[in-house]
Amino acid sequence: MRLILYLGKGGVGKTTLAAATAARAAQLGKRTLVVSTDLAHSLADALDRPLTAEPMQITDSLWAQEINVLDEMRSHWGRVQNYITTVLKKQGISDVAAEEMALIPGMDEIVALLNIYRQARDSSYDVVVIDAAPTGETVRLLSMPETFLWYVNQANGWKGIAFNAAKPLLKTFLPGVNVLDSLAKLNEQVAALRKVLTNPDISSYRLVVNPEKMVIKEALRAETYLALYDYPIDGVICNRVLPPPPPGGYQDELLREMAAQQRRYYEQIHTTFMPLPVWDAPYRSQEILGAEALAALGVEIWGDEDPTQVFFRGSPQEMVKRGDSYLLRLPLPHVELSKVVMTKKGDELIVEVGNFKRDIALPAVLVPMEATVARMTEGALEVTFTTPASSAKV
C-alpha cells in the first residue's frame, strides 16, 4: 500500500496534480483511490464527475471520494461526545463548558485521516492519493495524531475521578457505550495511523508550488513542519511553468515580464529544495478535466516513471554517543536557530517553531542529562546532552 499526500498553498493546483497522479497510477494498472480532505472540494470538478462521501469508480482501476468530515464526526464520535458532556454536567460543570470540554481538539482531522487509513487498509487499494487542504490546515491535520495521543492519555488520567464517579450513570444515559473502552480503541487506531503516516516505505508527502515568492515561502514552512513531525517528503512539483520563450523572446511585454519573474523563482525552487527532486508541470491555457487528460498530464510530468514510487528518502532523527555526551539530530530545513524554542522537561524535549510544537520523548539514557548546546548544522537541529556537573563522577 502507498499513501501520497499533496500539500501546498490554496490555489496552487494540488487537486489537479493529485488527480493526475492517481489517474496515471490507475493507467499503469494499480488499484488507486484519490481522496479530497479539503472542505472546499474541487476533486469532482477535476475528474469532471460528481462524487460522494463514499468511493466511486471512475475507470477500471480508479476510484474517487470527497470525505464529508461532519458526517464522519456524527457517526464515529457523536455518542461518545454526548456521554462525556452528560458526565461533566453531573460533576457540576456548566452546559456550555461541558460541551466544549467534550470535544477533543482536532477530532475532525483525526476522523478524516482514520477514514482514509481504513479505506486503504480494507479495500485493497495499491495506492491512495490525498488532495489535502491548504498547507496550514494540512500541517495541523497531520500533527493531530501526535497531539491526540497525548490528549487521550491525559484524559485517561481523569478516570479515577470523573469517569469512575460516573460509572453508575453509564447504563442510565448511554447503556451501549463504554467511553473508556472507546477512547482506548480510538487511541490504538491513532497510534497505528501515526506509524503509517511516518513510514517512508508507505507514505510520501509532495509539496506543490508555483514560481511565486509567497507560495515558495509557504512551501518552505511546510517542509520545516513536516520534518518536525517526521513526515517523509519525497518531492516537489513546480506547477504552472511558462514555456521557454521563442527565439528572440516574447513579443508581448506583459508575457515577457511574467516569464522573466517566473524564471528567477523557478531557479530558486530548483536550488532551494535540493536534494529533493523537483518536477515541472506546464502552464496550460485551458483546464485539464477528466481521467484521460489527467493521466496524460502525469505522463508529461514523470514520463515513463511510476509516479507512485518513493523518489527520495531523507535523514531520520538520530542519536549518537560522543564520549560522555549524546548528540540528538532533528532535521529542520530552512530554519534559523533564533526561530527555534527548545525546552527540556522531564523525559521530553519540547521543540517549538512558529505556531507548531513537538514533544520528543527522550530515551531513558538522556532523561537525567541536560541539554547544554544547540546548533543548526546542514539543515538539522543538533542538541548536545551532557551529565549535570553536580552528578558527574569525581
- Specify the CATH class of 318-391 in words: mainly beta
Q: What is the pLDDT of residues 312-346, one digit of tens each?
A: 988 767 778 888 899 988 887 777 778 888 888 88
pLDDT in tens, 273-321: 878 899 999 988 788 999 999 999 999 999 999 999 999 988 767 778 8
CATH code 3.30.43.10 for 2-302: no
For the stretch 237-268, pLDDT in tens is 999 998 877 787 777 888 888 888 888 889 88
Q: Provide the pLDDT confidence category of residue 155 given band limits of 50, 70 and 90.
A: low
- Quick check: 392 pLDDT over 50? no
Q: Any idea where the domains of the chain sit in the sequence?
A: 2-302, 318-391
Checking if the pLDDT of 172 tops 70, the result is no
Residue 161: predicted pLDDT: 41
What pTM value is reported for the model? 0.74
Average predicted confidence (pLDDT) for the chain: 78
Q: Does 178 have pLDDT greater than 60? A: no
- Give the model's confidence band at 128: pLDDT under 50 very low, under 70 low, under 90 confident, else very high: very high
Task: Please say whether the dihedral angle defined by the alpha carbons of residues 216, 220, 221 and 222, taken in this order, is positive or negative.
Answer: positive
